[in-house]
Amino acid sequence: MSYTIFTLSPGSTSTKLAVFKDDQQIFKTNVMHDPEVLKSFKEIKDQMPYRKETILTELAKAGIDLKDVDAYSAYSGGLEPAEGGIYPVNDKIIEDSLSGKINHPAILGSSLIRELAAPYGKPCYLVNPPDSDEFEDLARFTGIKGVYRECRVHVLNQKECAIRYAKEIGKKYEEANIIVAHIGGGLSVALHKNGRIVDGNDVLNGSGPMAPNRTGTVPAMPIVKMCFSGKYTEKDMKNLIGKTGGLISHLGTDNTLKIEEMIANGSHYAKLVLDAMAYQLCKEIGGYATVAEGKVDGIVLTGGVSKSKYFCSEIEKRCAWIAPVKSYGGDFEMEALASGAIRALTGEEAVKEYTGKPIFTGFDFNA
């Protein structure tokens, strides 16, 4: 049986849309929303009617009729941590996503997809939401009691690429151990062990390798000194960790093509910085190989930087002895949403119910 899947992913000033016929993308666009109109809304959730209207207008222009869609699938955040998987959109998902916990348009994904699907009575899903958390207990500890490591990786794209790789080597995702590195503006690395992300760096809160626009792990004392120097505000420090660190801090750009041009033009420092990012990523990969006790089926690279032959060759040079290195250039967010919906429709993957009960709330210190 053939399936038509509609997918969407809200961004700051736009919403990505795509339509798939089975695994073939037959339509894709990025609907732009007027920034001035968006600014007029007091809260992110108030943008909902405007975004929906803009999306429907764009679909009408393209001749896309939603009544022909078999299932709807969205990227949506703002939920309580839960296992990765496929979740039919329910009232609790809508309630939690619009609770105000997260101030980003990604919280609108579940509401938009349910409203678009409602007139046709078709199922709508979230696939491997960004709030997914499958960490093992040992992965949660830090050196400060009560401060825990959280799962903050590019869950959707990471799982999609791991599923693809497992299929290529003749295994089910649930049977494989795969280390995946998503190298975009942020850089997330995770160990996928028997179908679960059991450990990974926190790409939002500042851990792991240096990234194109994020600091990654930095010794704590220098950060403390900067925070209390009087030279930086809290916003300055958050921006440095999450927006202007990494390659931007060193070279003024996070565009690896430009950096490779700098290297080709003789910049020794540019080469040193890019090589350092690759070096740190290799150390992270090696660390997760020990968590898997050396039983690694593959190392998968994805995200925009994974299109760089030079960067990927540096990873392969240091890590190929652990397991084969496979690069999937770019990201596959929309494809992942579509393939997840198809797995739900065919019964290949059982859907889960979102309850809003966090999967982890801390350890019992008295146990």
pTM value surpassing 0.85:
yes
**pLDDT over 70 for what percent of the chain?**
100
Question: What does the pLDDT look like over 77-119, one tens digit per residue?
Answer: 999 999 999 999 999 999 999 998 888 999 999 999 999 999 9
61 and 174 in a single domain? The answer is no
Which residues 6+ apart lie within 8 Å of 54 measured at CB?
15, 31, 33
In a domain, 316, yes or no: yes
Asked if the structure places residue 135 within a domain, the reply is no
Say whether both 125 and 218 belong to one domain. Answer: no
Asked if 45 and 70 sit in the same domain, the reply is: yes
> What burial class does residue 140 get, using C-beta atoms within 10 Å of its C-beta: 0-12 exposed, 13-18 middle, 19+ buried?
middle
Q: Is 214 part of any domain?
A: yes
pLDDT digits (tens, 9 = 90+) for 257-286: 999 999 999 999 999 999 999 999 999 999
| Same domain, residue pair 172 and 270 | yes
The rounded distance, in Å, linking the Cα atoms of 276 and 149 is: 24
| Cα–Cα distance list, 126 to 8, 9, 87, 120, 187 (Å) | 10, 11, 5, 18, 23
Is residue 360 domain-resident?
Answer: no
pLDDT of residue 169: 98
The pLDDT value recorded for residue 101 is: 87
* Count of the separate structural domains present in the chain: 2
Residues 210 and 326 both lie in one domain: yes
- For 280-338, the pLDDT digits (tens) are 999 999 999 999 999 999 999 999 999 999 999 999 999 999 999 999 998 999 999 99
346-355 per-position pLDDT tens digit: 999 999 999 9
Q: Rounded to an integer, what is the distance from CA 150 to the centroid of its chain?
A: 14
Residue 71 in tokens: 């299932």
Q: Are residues 98 and 174 in the same domain?
A: no
Residues 27 and 100 reside in one and the same domain: yes
DSSP H or E segment with residue 278:
helix 268-291
Shared domain check, 215 and 123: no
In a domain, 149, yes or no: no
Same domain, 182 and 94: no
Please indicate, yes or no, whether residues 36 and 92 belong to a single structural domain of this protein. Answer: yes
Chain-wide mean pLDDT for the chain?
A: 96
CA 35 to chain centre: 24
**Helix (H), strand (E) at residue 184:** none
pLDDT of res. 206: 93
301 and 178, same structural domain? yes
Q: Determine which helix (DSSP H) or strand (DSSP E) holds 329, and give its type and residue range.
A: strand 325-329
For position 215, which CATH number holds? Answer: 3.30.420.40
Residue 198 domain-assigned (yes or no): yes
Distance CA 102, CA 265 (A): 43
pLDDT (tens digit per residue) in 103-113: 899 999 999 99
Range 78-102 burial, b when 16+ CB lie within 10 A, else e: bbbbbebbbbbbbebbbebbbeeeb
In a domain, 147, yes or no: no
Range of the domain at 52: 4-129+334-346
Same domain, 124 and 167: no
